[in-house]
Amino acid sequence: MDNSFQHYLLAKQSVDDRALNRYVYQCLVESLPQTTLHIVEVGAGIGSMLVRLLRWRLLSRADYVLVDDNQENLEYAASWLPRWAAENGMQSQSSAPDQLRVFDSSRELLVRFEHADALEYSRRNPGQSDLLIAHAFLDLLPMPSGLQQLFTLLKPGALAWLTVNFDGLTSLEPVLDAALDEKIERLYHQTMDARVTGGDSRAGRHLFAHIRSLSARLLAAGASDWVVYPVDGQYPLDEAYFLHFILRFFEESLSNHAEMDMVRLQGWLAARRAQIERAELVYIAHQTDFLVKLNRV
């Protein structure tokens, strides 16, 4: 396994495709204005959401800013997006190192790559966007202050599509050792709450109150669980890689944890990895999607 985070983000696409809540997404479709949109996506990674919205034909005219603090993600996006466009009947032109035009006969997007911390970017670019996208990102931030800062990116009456917010449940089946499984999952969630940069292992449920506290209007909410399972003896597409990377997150989070026996952890990881190789492991993570409208001022 090459342990590439960009490869993980590619492998995650099909998992996210299934997970995204269709009711919340349909509300987004119906709520977007029929004009050229200014969209900013924070924690945008390699541009997977942009590609998804092109595949799902949501966007026709847009300025789309990909904000990420990982330069390797943005460099990958800058090379991958033109390849994806060429393979899917679209054209692309690069007018500057940080800009890309993606277009066909009915769609045109100006894509900009912004290497920045999301909260710092929002401080420098207030009130410019029609749509904020935060995908699998908000549970990494201090709340509600982080969300309040991100909302400053939006124009009055603009929308925020906040997707795949982790909500405190991880399930790995079949059970190896019930007590050990429970301990590992509990400690793993606790590491999310202990991040020095902020974070919340129950962000999904807590976002209801955070959104209300910011006087924003909740238009829709719904579950967006990751559910990964084998079909006919194998995992779809590249989802075995995705599962191996999830186990890597467990290993990185719990190695040297004061409450974790390292020998038992390594044995547990080895057994789970063997389950993946035999196409036996089922992985579920509970998450929640939101569509929010910023109140007019």
Secondary structure class of 130 (helix, strand, coil): strand
Residues with Cβ within 8 Å of residue 10, at least 6 apart in sequence: 46, 48, 238
Q: Report the 3 state secondary structure along 178-207.
A: HHHHHHHHHHHHHHHHCCCCCCCCCHHHHH
Q: Any idea which fold 5-168+197-227+284-293 has?
A: Rossmann fold (3.40.50)
Given pLDDT bands bounded at 50, 70 and 90, which one contains residue 104? very high
At position 44, the amino acid (one-letter code) is A
Asked whether residue 1 carries a pLDDT value surpassing 70, the answer given is no
Q: In this structure, are residues 111 and 102 in contact, taking their beta carbons and an 8 Å threshold? A: yes
- Kindly state the average pLDDT of the residues 167-183: 97
Asked whether residue 208 carries a pLDDT value surpassing 90, the answer given is yes
Residues with Cβ within 8 Å of residue 51, at least 6 apart in sequence: 13, 81, 84
Instruction: Tell which residue, 226, 257, 253, 231, has the closest CA to residue 242.
Output: 226
pLDDT digits (tens, 9 = 90+) for 209-227: 999 999 899 999 999 999 9
pLDDT score, position 195: 87
Vertex 141, ends 138 and 145: CA angle to 5°?
A: 100
b/e code 166-191 from CB counts within 10 Å (16+ = b) = bbbebebeeeeeeebbebbbebbbeb
157 φ, ψ (degrees, to nearest 5): 80, 5
- Kindly state the average pLDDT of the residues 200-215: 96
- Report how far residue 187's alpha carbon sits from residue 203's, in angstroms, rounded to the nearest whole number: 16
Asked whether residue 297 carries a pLDDT value surpassing 60, the answer given is no
What percent of the chain shows pLDDT beyond 90?
A: 94
Asked whether residue 273 carries a pLDDT value surpassing 80, the answer given is yes
DSSP state, 4?
Answer: -
- Kindly state the average pLDDT of the residues 253-263: 94
- Report how far residue 31's alpha carbon sits from residue 12's, in angstroms, rounded to the nearest whole number: 27
- Report how far residue 188's alpha carbon sits from residue 75's, in angstroms, rounded to the nearest whole number: 30
HSE, CB side, 13 Å, CA atoms: give it for residue 196.
0
Given pLDDT bands bounded at 50, 70 and 90, which one contains residue 55? very high
Task: Specify burial of residue 129 (Cβ count, 10 A radius: 0-12, 13-18, 19+).
Answer: buried
- Paired residues of 161 in beta bridges: 133, 291
Q: In this structure, are residues 159 and 292 in contact, taking their beta carbons and an 8 Å threshold? A: yes
Look-up: residue for tokens 């699998």? 136
- Report how far residue 287's alpha carbon sits from residue 39's, in angstroms, rounded to the nearest whole number: 23
Alpha helices in the chain (DSSP H): 5-11, 13-19, 22-31, 48-55, 71-87, 118-124, 145-151, 178-193, 203-213, 239-254, 262-277
pLDDT digits (tens, 9 = 90+) for 110-169: 999 999 999 999 999 999 999 999 999 999 999 999 999 999 999 999 999 999 999 999
Average pLDDT, the chain: 96
Given pLDDT bands bounded at 50, 70 and 90, which one contains residue 296? low
- Kindly state the average pLDDT of the residues 5-16: 98
- Report how far residue 296's alpha carbon sits from residue 238's, in angstroms, rounded to the nearest whole number: 43
Instruction: Map out the domains of the chain as residue ranges.
Output: 5-168+197-227+284-293
CA 278 to chain CA centroid, Å, is 28
Given pLDDT bands bounded at 50, 70 and 90, which one contains residue 95? confident
